[in-house]
Structure 1
Amino acid sequence: MIVALIAACEIGFWVLLAAGLACRYLLRMPRTGLALLLCEPLLEVVLLVATALDLKNGAEPNWTHGLAALYIGYTVGHGHRTVKWLDGHAAHRLGGAPKPLGPPRYGLARARHETKVWLGTLTAAAVATALLQLAVWYVDDPSRTTSLESWRATAWRAAGIHGLVTLTYWIWPKKAPAGEPETGPSAGTGREKAVR
């Protein structure tokens, strides 16, 4: 049940996002579009409540509950940036706004950008850890919560790997080709990635 609900929340995220952006830029209803975009956090609340009820009703804590915590954490850590990125591109393609700037591509500016993205991953790990700890306390049976505790390690392992990748941007900053400025964001090149 929890896996299906996670899938439904992910689908719901993209449906609400598409509907919100369509209302804002195609239908010229910015308030309705904003209202739809602001409904997105409700999906995570639904998932959180459903997971808690599942545990309360005696479900054995397993990987699905851990995955739900990681999903919610990831949405908290990276969801806002994803919506902002897609909103900028929708404003450009559908609303006539200038093309959004992409992330810096070279030097310390790129390292700072990657650090901000990594801070989102740290936030995700912290939120997932807090939710998993609350679930451990809620179940209150150490023999049943081993799988939940292993997901905390998974969250921090992912944050650690992402941190190491980010560190490489500081240690070996990519140099700009001759004639191209090293600092400042690049014009949108189409290589930017939405992170969710």
Structure 2
Amino acid sequence: MILGLIIACEVAFWAAILGGLFARYVAGRPRLGVVLLLAAPAVDVILLVLVAVDLLGGGTASWHHGLAALYIGISVAYGHRMIAWADAKFATRFRGAPPRPKLTGVAYAVACWKDAARTLLAVAISAAILGGLIVVVGNGARTEELRGFFPLLGVILTIDVLWAVSYTIWPKKSVKAANG
């Protein structure tokens, strides 16, 4: 059941974002667009409440519950960036705004480190949700599955930091420099 709710919340999250951008750029209704864009974070709150209610109602934690915590952490940490990316795409497509320049060199490495910081935030939020659920439920046998997500959070953060380190050492070349 929780897996279905996660999928429904993911669909609702993107429906709110795309609906907000469609209202803003295609329908010419910027206020409606803002309302729909603000609905996206509400989806995360709804998912968190549903997961907590399921566990507090006697449910045993599964990987789905841990996935919900991870999803919420990523959504909170990267949500604004994802919306800004989609907004820029819509502005380019429907308003003729210039496309964002492709980052290379130091600018790309800096962007990678900013992403590593966002990933750290996502991991911290996910860990706090997992820890909070474990404490609130107060039954180690029913929340054992959640404990298994802590090493996964470390792996996710490590991969993102290694990505940033690699582009700091070997900067991404521009297309001109790579072909020249």
TM-score relative to the length of structure 2: 0.93
Equivalent residues of 1:26, 1:95 under 8 A apart: no
Going by fraction, where is helix more abundant, 1 or 2? Answer: 2
Distance of 1:119 and 1:13 partners within structure 2: 23
Distance of 1:11 and 1:144 partners within structure 2: 28
Match of 2:5 in 1: 5
Distance of 1:174 and 1:48 partners within structure 2: 38
1:142: how far off?
Answer: 2.1
- The residue type equivalent to 2:163 in the other structure is V
RMSD: 1.7
Match of 2:46 in 1: 46
Aligned length: 178
Distance of 1:12 and 1:54 partners within structure 2: 20
Distance of 1:100 and 1:178 partners within structure 2: 21
Match of 1:173 in 2: 171
**Identity within the alignment, %:** 40
Match of 1:162 in 2: 160
Equivalent residues of 1:132, 1:148 under 8 A apart: yes
Q: Deviation string for 1:80-118 (max 9, x for gaps)?
A: 10100110110121123x22323412x222110111112
List gaps (5 residues or longer) in structure 1. 181-196
SS in 2 for 1:39: helix
SS in 2 for 1:19: helix
Match of 2:72 in 1: 72
Match of 2:18 in 1: 18
After superposition, residues 25-104 of structure 1 pair within 5 angstroms as 25-96=25-96, 98-104=97-103
Distance of 2:178 and 2:117 partners within structure 1: 32
1:110 counterpart (95, 108, 113): 108
SS in 2 for 1:143: helix
Change beyond 3 A, Cα 1:55–1:27: same
